[in-house]
Structure 1
């Protein structure tokens, strides 16, 4: 069973493989990271870990039994008990409920490890899979916004006092 782990230095090679193998799949749903992301990956990973150490973000890898990264689940802009959730799952791992389970696990971590009581998220209208994960896990739509120039929906999920 895959495990949601806080991003660490030892995840670097597996995360890079995950991003490379799924680049085209992700680009169909979200803006491409660009070539510089891959050529400068080691520096970017180190910077991300340093930023995580400040507490402003918390990044997680969904790691399979063999150490393979199957997804990334990140919390951004942690402040005042709130954060924004962003996630991506490998193409070969879709349709198995892994994203839904990881988001639910992240709820518990958000409360116990990071002191959060509210998460927000956004998904492109065309990204049915992400929107389904968000609604299945109790996020409710609260508005619209442009995501890289395309229509998107914003969501909120209160964590305190609700079943996680």
Structure 2
């Protein structure tokens, strides 16, 4: 499937809200809930505007993963950018209907290609020990598992959160 990354804008708010609402229950099976308030239209728009401010400030970068027709398939972000260490944290989520089709793998590859322009030299990512698909996406894109793992609770279950890292070479 051919995809593209588009930087989030204020014009994306309604379509992004629909995407998040449609796959809320699916997402909450593997990551902590953002809470009921997040899905109230006004709260969502305020949070979206706040994220866009982070993007303007250069502390985070938010992209929509779209197909050739412009439909949102997922989102991918680099957040908590540290300008001193040139490090940022990767996060992504793919809509349920597009999982297993190579969307996340290609989106991560495309985002890595943007890192030089964003002056990011190291990307960190975390996933649970049971999320083998995400681990494969990261390792196939050059991420290396770190030796640090932290025990967390997700939906009442204890699991390990595994840290990955990828350096961006000049």
| 3-state SS of paired residue (1:42) | helix
Matched, 1:101 2:106: yes
User: What is the CA distance between 1:64 and its match in structure 2?
Assistant: 2.1
User: What is the CA distance between 1:146 and its match in structure 2?
Assistant: 3.5
User: What is the CA distance between 1:147 and its match in structure 2?
Assistant: 4.4
Structure 1: distance between partners of 2:33 and 2:91: 15
| Other-structure match for 2:36 | 35
What TM-score comes out, normalization by structure 2 length? 0.89
User: What is the CA distance between 1:68 and its match in structure 2?
Assistant: 2.0
* 8 A Cα contact 2:78 2:90, kept in partner: yes
Unaligned runs of 5+ in 2: none
What does the per-residue CA deviation read over 1:52-91, in whole Å, with 9 as the maximum and x for residues that have no partner?
1111111111012333211111111111211110111011
What does the per-residue CA deviation read over 1:126-150, in whole Å, with 9 as the maximum and x for residues that have no partner?
2222112111111111021244563
Assess, with a 3 A threshold, how the Cα gap between structure 1 residues 121 and 43 changes in structure 2: closer, same or farther: same
| Other-structure match for 2:91 | 86
* Runs of at least 4 residues off by over 4 Å: none
| Other-structure match for 2:133 | 129
* Stretch moving more, 15-24 or 64-73: 64-73
Structure 2: distance between partners of 1:107 and 1:158: 10
| Other-structure match for 2:22 | 21
Of 47, 52, 61, 2:50 maps to 47
| Other-structure match for 1:74 | 77
Assess, with a 3 A threshold, how the Cα gap between structure 1 residues 13 and 147 changes in structure 2: closer, same or farther: farther
